[in-house]
Structure 1
Amino acid sequence: MGEDIVDRSEGFGERLLGLLLDRARLLPPQLIAPLIADEVARIGGRDVSILLQDYAQERLVPLPGKKLHVSEAQAISDSQAGQAFLSAAPVEAPQAGGGVRMYLPLLDGSDQVGVMALTLDAVGDDIRRLLRRLAGLVADMLVTKSAYTDQFFLARRREPMSVSAEIQWNLLPPLAMTVPQISVAGVLEPAYRVAGDSFDYALNDNILHIAVIDAMGHGLDAATMATVAIGAYRHARRVFISLAEKYAFMDAAISQQFGPDHFVTAQLMHVNIATGQMELVNAGHPAPLLIRGGEVVRQLESATTLPVGFGGEEPKVREHTLQPGDRVLCYTDGIIEEHLEHEEPFGEERLIGCVNRLREEPSQSLRADLRRLSHTLKKQRGGRTSDDATLFMIEWRGGAADHLAVPD
């Protein structure tokens, strides 16, 4: 009986991606960009640009580097690069002088890192498939190498950053996550001066764990308190305790470290991504908004307990059932308490009006919609963000994840 012959030879695409992996492992961060440009040239690409999202989520800024085409920063809301970024899908732009300018989203998992742009004389299905895989590899490399250098962080800054904001940005998880059943996205303002607001999440089996916090005060004091609160939350989450126990653990940490006159407001949530069951503990936060069919239908009320650090009684956990397509918007009080020019607070009613107007334009993604809401709110407040203002949105779609869908 003859043995089956298995062809294990490398195809062109495998060789290119494999060579990039082999060479990147020991390269210093500053040589990653030239390596990417060299590999793109192997498939006929030229004028390669790596565009990274700035901290304010307003522009895509070019990463400087040898052999990279360093273009101008491009507006996320009004550019072909921004379209690829927001939709998480490639954009092809035929050029007047011939050729095609390709904009490929750089996705680390489901979080958008930025966009890779390059020009080709012609584009076919094989090239599209190879470029999509190349962009995924480039995104992973940029995220991995960023742990060893400040180069990528500095490229994303468009104005000076406070020490408290530096601490907060290093504390955050990725700003967005998408799996088939659920998506989350978050926005922090003011991006370069944020201090006490933060959020955290983790998907463990079928349970999405979420915390949104607001530490009292401003500057380093608030950033330090937020760091302790998030650290205590993560520790509690990783020993698999209930929402009520997480609250108690965070409460003890803040009280012991800062004394009885300091506090952190918080919302703690569990969402079962298979069933849509949500558990909620509210410790002094504005109630989340339930959005159904593109419209705010109600607040997700719960028995409000004392803020973290005040030694409140064991909180009551409120349960809610989400329907497929539902969105839940969490926000800190800086959103609604900002005073307008005539000294009137912005208020929840105006917030709800801005949320409802999201339906007037087609939805690209949860992150794109939340970013649009954040910028709309800021414009409605006259550009003011005198206090930390955080938005965190969840979209539950339901369905089982019995297998992993991999695109061709």
Structure 2
Amino acid sequence: MLYLIDYEQRLLVPAPVTGIPARRPQAVDRTLAGRCFRHVQAMASPAGTPGVWLPVLDGADRLGVLEVAVPEGVDLDDPVFAERCRLLGHLTGHLITAKRPYGDALDQLMRRRPRTVASELLHQLLPPLTFACEGLVVSGLLQPAYDVAADAFNYSVVGDSAHLAILDATGHDLGGTVLAAVALSAYCNRRRNGHGLYDTATAMDEHIAAHSDGERFATGVLGELQLCTGRLRYLNAGHPAPLLMRDGKVAKELKGGRRSCHSRSPDRS
């Protein structure tokens, strides 16, 4: 039985199966299925109901869980069985990601209420919410999931470099969201063409000015992280200072990297 996470990441919603009675959604914060999802770890069902809950992943992106019935006598701690369960969870996640763009059935299952047009556009622009490789995990989420407007993020990891961007356009409406889409497209275009932070920000400025009414603008933070050294270069264009976290606590604000019409290079830390 497949359960997909809803857009607010509060409920695991069962996919309908012909001939099987409908199941109830599973709360992420107080069920065994939710614990499997949170900890990304297989969980054995309670005694008397032989089975196992498996996390469903596309790479590192958590999509939901599988409830799998297990015949009596199967050793849930057997390494071969555990590896097959892991592969089943990953294969299911890859299939969901591959098939999802071709229809609305999975998306309709994941949304619990109507979404605004602005929010619909933003969600179409997002990369996978979580990415992981050796030495790096990137994760993001748009909230409120059904009413968000004008905020966006993007990332790319190529070789030893991670590229990051967080954007906030003025006007929490469809107009602001369109402006955020323009800024994000300009960012991706310049980044993919091999340009640095300052040139990328300049191009974003130009496109925002060309597509705004003269009163709208966008703030943002652009960053480049060298994975082999941990060195971060970032540029802050009118956005609140990023926060450096250690052990779940704010270690400091990154107050440098401020860009103006007179700046020539991003700050480094």
Which band: TM-score by shorter chain? over 0.9
One-letter amino acid of the counterpart of residue 61, structure 1: V
Tell me the equivalent position of 2:267: 318
Could you tell me which residue of structure 1 aligns to residue 189 of structure 2?
235
Question: What is the CA distance between 1:127 and its match in structure 2?
Answer: 2.6
2:231 to 277, 281, 297: 277
Counterpart among 9, 26, 33 of residue 81 in structure 1: 33
Residue of structure 2 equivalent to 1:164: 118
What's the secondary structure of 2:102's corresponding residue? coil
Shift of 1:259: 4.1
Taking the aligned partners of 1:319 and 1:121, their CA distance within structure 2 comes to 57
**Residues 63 and 98 of structure 1: CA distance in aligned 2, closer, same or farther (over 3 Å):** closer
Letter in 2 for 1:52: L
Quote the residue 1:337 is aligned against: none
Asked if 2 retains the 8 angstrom alpha-carbon contact of 1:146 and 1:152, the reply is yes
Match of residue 133 from structure 1 = 87
Work out whether 1:119 is the aligned partner of 2:69: yes
Instruction: Please give the root-mean-square deviation of Cα atoms over the aligned residues, in Å.
Output: 1.6
Please name the residue that 1:245 is paired with: 199
- Looking at structure 2, the residues matched to 190 and 295 of structure 1 have their Cα atoms a distance apart, in angstroms, of 24
Alignment of 1:171-186 (within 5 A): 171-186=125-140
Give the CA deviation at 1:260. 2.9
Number of the residue aligned with 1:107:
57
Q: Secondary structure at the match of 2:174?
A: helix
Partner Cα separation in structure 1 for residue 96 and residue 257 of structure 2 = 44
- Name 2:170's counterpart in structure 1: 216
For 2:174 and 2:265, how far apart are their aligned partners in 1? 32
CA contact (8 A) 2:3 2:64 kept: yes
Alignment partners' CA distance in 1, 2:199 and 2:49? 63
Q: 1:302 to 1:66 in 2, by over 3 A?
A: same
Letter in 2 for 1:160: P
Letter in 2 for 1:81: A
Shift of 1:53: 0.9
SS of the counterpart of 2:53? strand
Counterpart-to-counterpart distance in 2, 1:70 and 1:177: 33
Report the secondary structure of 2:229's partner residue.
Answer: coil
- Please tell me whether the aligned partners of residues 281 and 315 of structure 1 are also in contact (alpha carbons under 8 angstroms): no
Shift of 1:68: 5.8
Q: Is the 8 A contact 1:248 1:314 kept in 2?
A: no
Letter in 2 for 1:238: R
**CA, structure 1 residues 51+238, in 2 after alignment: closer, same or farther (shift >3 Å)?**
same
Mean alpha-carbon deviation: is it higher for 151-160 or for 126-135? 126-135
Per-residue deviation, 1:175: 1.0
In structure 2, relative to structure 1, the CA distance for the partners of 1:165 and 1:132 (3 Å cut) is: same
Counterpart code for 1:214? D
More helix by share: 1
Residues 1:65 and 2:17 aligned together: yes
Report 1:319-398 matches (<5 A). 319-320=268-269
> 2:68 & 2:262 partners in 1: Cα distance?
58
Tell me the alpha carbon deviations over residues 20-51 of structure 1, each in whole angstroms, 9 at most, x when there is no partner.
xxxxxxxxxxxxxxxxxxxxxxxxxxxxx211
Unaligned segments of structure 1, at least 5 residues: 1-48, 307-311, 321-408
Query: Percent identical across equivalent pairs?
Result: 33
**Gap change, CA 1:253 and 1:167, over 3 Å in 2:** same
TM-score computed with the length of structure 2 as normaliser: 0.93
Structure 2 residue runs without a partner (length 5+):
none
Letter in 1 for 2:267: R
> How many residue pairs get matched?
265
Q: Which moved more, 1:277-286 or 1:251-260?
A: 251-260
Q: After TM superposition, give the deviation of residue 228 of structure 1 in Å.
A: 0.7
Partner in structure 1 of residue 211 of structure 2:
257
Secondary structure, in 3 states, of the residue corresponding to 1:159?
Answer: coil
Separation of aligned partners in 2, 1:154 and 1:115: 17
State the Cα distance separating 1:91 from its structure 2 match.
1.1
**Residue aligning to 2:155:** 201
The separation in 2 between residues aligned to 1:297 and 1:133, in whole angstroms, is 38
1: CA distance, partners of 2:11 / 2:186? 34
Alignment of 1:45-64 (within 5 A): 49-64=1-16
CA contact (8 A) 1:50 1:68 kept: no
Determine if contact 1:98/1:121 at 8 Å carries over to the other structure. Answer: no
Task: After TM superposition, give the deviation of residue 94 of structure 1 in Å.
Answer: 3.0
Which deviates more, 196-205 or 64-73? 64-73
